[in-house]
Amino acid sequence: MSDAHQALGLEYRRRVQALSEPMRVVVVNQSGGLYGIERMLLALLPALQDRGVRVTFLALCRAEDEGGALGRLLRERGIPVHFVPISRFVGLAPLRRMVATLRACDPQVIHVHGYKAATAIGLARLFWRRPVLATVHSESVSSTDMRAAMLAETTFCKRFERVIAVSQGVARDLEQRGIPSDRLAIIQNGIVDRFAPCAADLLSARDPTRIVVVGRLVAVKRFAAAIQSVAALVRQGRRCTLQIVGDGPLRPELERLVKELGVSDQVRFAGFVDDVTPFLAEASIFAMPSATEGAPIALIEAMAAGCAIVASRVGGIPDIVRDEVDGLLIEPAHEGDLPRALERLLVDESLRHRLAASARRRFLEEFEVQRMTARYLEAYTAMGAGDA
């Protein structure tokens, strides 16, 4: 038998063996805490494992750091986890450790989330190559203070085999950044339905005056607008309370605003929590007045929880919530939109219930974790995972 025929025979046997073995995927992320991307990965990775994928998580941080929480939780759920800390500028030593870890895992596909992971894996491919799928969770406009980071992410995403946008808005942004359309697809985020026992009652057993916002306390989330709206409603004689779930650099400033506006009895800061489920289950209204968003997990969680929603008409939010059907969409630039929308929901019980019920149905149809998982499995297969 010629060398060429022997090589073809070996290649055939390798492909047959690959088809009979579980798909091997390494998911990479550098986390700063349990926020939207992390909650999405907490849903996706166990679901992939349940589908027979041999999935491993590579955390680009130390296990004991705040960002290590995601890796620690995944490890508790039976997902193999490796921690390889990298700094803002990826040095040669951590790069070598990352490449060694990837070689040991021998993935057929590397799946990256976030610009830091995209940059790190893009550099690692200079030494060791595997097909890469990158999920981009936000538009570049949300990172105007990180132009160098966005440039690096764009440069490497142009070279990756597949790029996934979490919304139409993110997809348009990626096309404008030069990502080839034939390598670009949209997969909407999904979560595990943890709300089934509490969502069926919708709002009937909840405090109709309770509003909740969830997220990192940064300017783009516009939580100051939520506080000002509640203060305006209170001055008009409306009964309402605001629960702010999350932490961040603007907390002292927001706490001062609450005192200045005289609404300390109506506004409460819960701080950062690992699980927002109880807060959403108790709230009647969920507000997201953000200046920009990708496909926010907190919004999807609010839909699953059966909250009546007020959200900005920005980024991927209109892909998720249909105005006057699943929630009320507002223009963040129009100061009066948010208090007017909140007032509509506070005074109109039938509207609250109708929007909440529709949001819950839409979640089950479009944003439950199994739908997202199936789409990612299709993407891995389309990349030729069995051929790696």
- CATH assignment of the domain containing 222: 3.40.50.2000
Domain housing 100: 21-192+369-387
Cα–Cα distance for residue pair 135/36, rounded to 1 Å: 13
Question: In this structure, are 254 and 374 located in the same domain?
Answer: no
- Domains of the chain: total: 2
Mean pLDDT along residues 332-353: 96
Confidence of residue 176 (pLDDT cuts 50, 70, 90): very high
State the DSSP string of 260-286. HHT-TTTEEEEE--S--HHHHHH-SEE
CB 186 within 8 A of CB 165: yes
For residue 331, give every residue at least 6 positions away whose Cβ sits within 8 Å of its Cβ, in sequence order, or none.
312, 313, 337
pLDDT, tens digit, for every residue of 101-155?
999 999 999 999 999 999 999 999 999 989 999 999 988 766 556 677 788 899 9
Q: Are residues 69 and 169 in the same domain?
A: yes
Residue 12 has pLDDT above 80, yes or no: no
Same-domain pairing of 186 and 201: no
| pLDDT of amino acid 144 | 57
In a domain, 8, yes or no: no
Q: How far is CA 181 from CA 162, 177, 184, 293, in A?
A: 10, 11, 5, 22
For 343-378, the DSSP string reads: HHHHH-HHHHHHHHHHHHHHIIIIIBHHHHHHHHHH
Is the domain of 232 the same as that of 298?
yes
Shared domain for 219 and 305, answered yes or no, is yes
Q: Are residues 187 and 220 in the same domain?
A: no
pTM of the model: 0.86
Question: At 9, is the pLDDT very low, low, confident or very high (cuts 50, 70, 90)?
Answer: very low
Non-local (6+) Cβ contacts of 237 within 8 A are none
Q: Does 3 reside within a domain?
A: no
- Residues 64, 176 within the same domain: yes
270 shares a domain with 186: no
- Please tell me which residue, 114 or 33, carries the higher pLDDT value: 114
Domain contains 12: no
Whether residues 233 and 187 share a domain: the answer is no
Q: Is residue 15, in this structure, part of any structural domain at all? A: no
Residue 320 lies in a domain: yes
Beta partners for 211?
A: 242, 285
Burial of 303 per CB tally in 10 Å (0-12, 13-18, 19+):
buried
Q: What is the pLDDT of residue 149?
A: 78
What pLDDT, on a 0 to 100 scale, did the predictor assign at position 388? 43
My answer on whether 239 and 155 are in the same domain is: no
Q: Are residues 148 and 245 in the same domain?
A: no
Same structural domain for residues 38 and 187? yes
